[in-house]
Amino acid sequence: MLREASIKRIKELFWEFQNIKPGIIYEILDDGVKFSIDGKERTLSGFDKLTNNEMKSLIYKEFLKEGINLPWGILTGIKPMKLYAKSDDKEAFKEKFFISDEKFELMEKTFKNQVLGFNPKYSLYVHIPFCKGICSYCSFYTNDITKKDFDFTKYIDTVIDEMKYESKIRDISEPDSIYIGGGTPSAIDKANIGKLLKYIKENYKFKELTFECGRADTMDKELFDILDKYGVTRICINPQTMNEETLKRVHRNASLDELYKVYELSRNYNFDINMDLIIGLEGERRADYTNSVKKLIAMRPESITIHNLALKRRAVLAQEDFKLENIDLSKEIYVMLYAAGYEPYYMYRQKMTNSNLENLAFSLAGKASIYNVISMNDLSSIYAFGAGAVSKYIDNDNLERKFNYKDIDLYIKNVYNKDI
């Protein structure tokens, strides 16, 4: 019988093939797989004696015989740069995973831009799982504050107490970076944002502090004044698209006028700014995506992150039986960003993604996010706080995760059952 992990990897590879070519059917057997390509059936066996990569390689070679390939070959994991960094022979790595020339060159560029200039120790992550409405594509754990009242004061007090508790276990007073994410952290009231940031400023020394503002309709001068006062160095203002009609379609009720206003306002402060775009949103066409990229380049944020839409079970789109389009704009968009002085610095991939592509962040010279480089390459431990937060304890090649309760009430109860 095949191992559960092996079955999972086979399914991932076939999903990628099915995403680019219709009509592929497969069945996993006790020790192999039976599948058909354009009606031609074949069976591979003996998988119970093979590694996952050996299995995927045998399957992939059958598709190559039919002239079918994938840009990332058999590299189906979410952190390709982590494997690339560990490989001593880069060319052998490329051949082993059947990676295309284009994607291999992209890995080389990205890797060169991940130099931190210091040996990472550890970082902190704080999760604020609240939003002003849920976007149709979103699969992150969050709570809609327009449909239910939440006690933000109790939640932030609990997060701070959890951080105090962790400080009793180990010294976390000088993290390399701190990332406050969500959800939409700026969706909660200003008093509690200030309380959290005040605690952080008074208790930690850091190289970088990121606050993920997210939606334009949660930002104003008062917020930016608070972020500036307490030492935030980097913020995220994420339009996801620069098409007004698409924003309405995906239930992201923040207008482009609001976006431009808060962006201009934010430029009165010394923040580095990241802006996200998503390729594959419903109703958009090639011109919409390239137009969005051009508009962001003209705004000149320090970082632009290009995501390819991934259909996750929690997302509204997945429940509505939304079908991904096979839109590969990577060459066109990346060339535009290169020409504007942006370079790729971190990358990850997701399952069930538009065109089986990558999510890639670009930054201007010297403006790469410390936290993103560390977290996407598992370079050091990340101690995470808040409901739904996941800590990563890294010791050499050993990685362990600790999951906090997602439910707000269970999270609070769990923290206060500790010896704080």
| In the predicted structure, residue 169 carries a pLDDT above the cut 90 | yes
Pick the closest to residue 217 from 180, 243, 247, 173 (CA basis): 247
Query: What b/e sequence results for 349-374 when a residue is b if at least 16 CB atoms lie within 10 Å of its CB, and e otherwise?
Result: bbbbbbbbbbbbbbbbeebbbbbbbb
- Between 312 and 174, residue with greater pLDDT: 174
**Residue 139's pLDDT is what?**
67
Report pLDDT for 248. Answer: 84
Average pLDDT, integer, range 134-138: 67
Q: What is the CA radius of gyration of the chain?
A: 22
- Give pLDDT tens digits for 1-34: 889 989 999 998 998 898 888 889 999 999 999 9
Please, which residues have CB within 8 angstroms of residue 270's CB and are 6 or more apart in sequence?
Answer: 228, 233
What separation, in Å, do the N-terminal and C-terminal C-alpha atoms of the chain show? 48
Q: What whole-number distance in Å separates Cα of residue 134 and Cα of residue 236?
A: 18
pTM of the model: 0.92
Inter-CA distances, 383 with 123, 176, 195, 338, Å: 6, 12, 20, 34
Token pair 């890995």 is found at 107
- Identify the CA nearest to 327 among candidates 369, 298, 356: 356
Determine the 3-state secondary structure of 374 from DSSP.
helix
Band of the pLDDT at 420, cuts 50, 70, 90? very low
Q: What's the pLDDT tens digit per position in 323-341?
A: 556 677 788 999 999 999 9
Yes or no: say if 325 and 368 are a contact pair by the CB < 8 Å rule. no
Q: What is the DSSP string of 292-353?
A: HHHHHHHH--SEEEEEEPB--TTSHHHHTT--------HHHHHHHHHHTT-EEEEEEE-SSB
